[in-house]
Structure 1
Amino acid sequence: MPNPPGYAGVFRYSDKYPTAVTPWWEPGNDIRDVAAEIREMLDDALTPTAAEFEAFQNIRCPDYEVRAAVFMLSSPPWTAAGDQRWAWILYWEDDAEINVVEHPDQETAVAAFFAHVAFCEAEGKRYDYVVDPRQPRTAMPPGWKPRLP
């Protein structure tokens, strides 16, 4: 299953690009249950205290909902118990769609994050890393620009 143009890594889950995903769940499992498991895993990982995103190394945004991130996920569900204790993840969200792409290391995941941002911005709009629930139109803190790798 080929990756979408412009994307590297192993797609572990994607609403937007389902044909790029190699399923890790049992045949016959309800995809809604798999999506719920992924959502719960992300909600647990994407907490203000646990998440140190490369795009926000020097910024604390506890009131923001994260829409894109690079982070190290412990105990990924697509591995057998004990086989792998962590994985570097590029995660992004488009509306209600979620995407989880595994990368071999932090450097590759960070590069993939900025490639994703550049890909989205090439479509003609500034990419939002986060959404402030009080002001849905707000994305990055005013005047802030990401540190390129």
Structure 2
Amino acid sequence: MPNPFGYAGVFRYSDQYPKAVEPWWEPDDNLEDVADELRELTYDELTSPTAAEFEAHRDIERSDYRVRAAVFMLPSPPWPVKEGQRWAWILYWEDDSEINVVEHPDRDTAVAAFFAHVAFCEAEGTRYDYVVNPRQPKTAMPPGWKPRPA
């Protein structure tokens, strides 16, 4: 199963690129249940103030803006991991109701994939309002882009 152009890592779930996914669930499992489980696991991490290494948001002008892309360490992933490993580095993004979960071997690879994803989306016209490193409260803007004055 080839990855979509410009993406590395192991696609663990993707509404957007289902042919790139390496299934870890049983063939008779309900795929909606699989997606719901992943949504719940990722939501728990995305709502933790220190879980994500980097986050990208859209709809900043609305009070209900949400994380649209993030890199974080997912504890106890539902797919098999190496013996002794209890986590997986994840690049996560969503677009409307579609979610994508891509596993990477380490933090640096996942972070590089995150910025590649943001750059790819912005080149395609899907603009992220800003990129945040929650552990260092400062904004890392996409190249050549400045925030709107408050």
Q: Distance in 2 between matches of 1:102 and 1:76?
A: 10
Distance 1:111 1:80, change over 3 A: closer
- Residue type of the alignment partner of 2:78: P
Query: Which residue number corresponds to residue 12 of structure 1?
Result: 12
Distance 1:147 1:74, change over 3 A: farther
Select between 9-18 and 74-83 the one with higher mean Cα deviation.
74-83
The Cα of 1:64 is off from its aligned counterpart by 4.6
1:95-134 matches, cutoff 5 A: 95-128=96-129
1:30-78: per-residue Cα shift (whole Å, max 9, x none)?
101111111111111112334233248xxxxxx7521110001111100
Query: Which residue number corresponds to residue 80 of structure 2?
Result: 79
1:21-40 matches, cutoff 5 A: 21-40=21-40
Matched pairs, number: 130
How big is the alpha-carbon RMSD for the aligned residues of Structure 1 and Structure 2? 2.6
Distance 1:78 1:16, change over 3 A: same
**Normalised TM-score (structure 2):** 0.76
Q: Distance in 2 between matches of 1:119 and 1:3?
A: 15
Query: Which residue number corresponds to residue 147 of structure 2?
Result: none
Query: Which residue number corresponds to residue 146 of structure 1?
Result: 141
Alignment partner of 1:3: what SS? coil
Please tell me whether the aligned partners of residues 66 and 129 of structure 1 are also in contact (alpha carbons under 8 angstroms): no
> Counting strand residues as a fraction of each chain, which structure ranks higher?
2
Q: Distance in 1 between matches of 2:30 and 2:67?
A: 27
Same amino acid, percent of matched pairs: 70
Alignment partner of 1:27: what SS? coil
Unaligned runs of at least 5 residues, structure 2:
57-63, 132-138, 144-150
Distance 1:26 1:128, change over 3 A: farther
- Residue type of the alignment partner of 1:34: V
Q: Distance in 1 between matches of 2:86 and 2:41?
A: 14
Query: Which residue number corresponds to residue 41 of structure 1?
Result: 41
**Normalised TM-score (structure 1):** 0.76
Q: Distance in 2 between matches of 1:16 and 1:108?
A: 21
The Cα of 1:127 is off from its aligned counterpart by 2.6
Q: Which portions of structure 1, spanning 4 or more consecutive aligned residues, are displaced by more than 4 angstroms?
A: 80-83
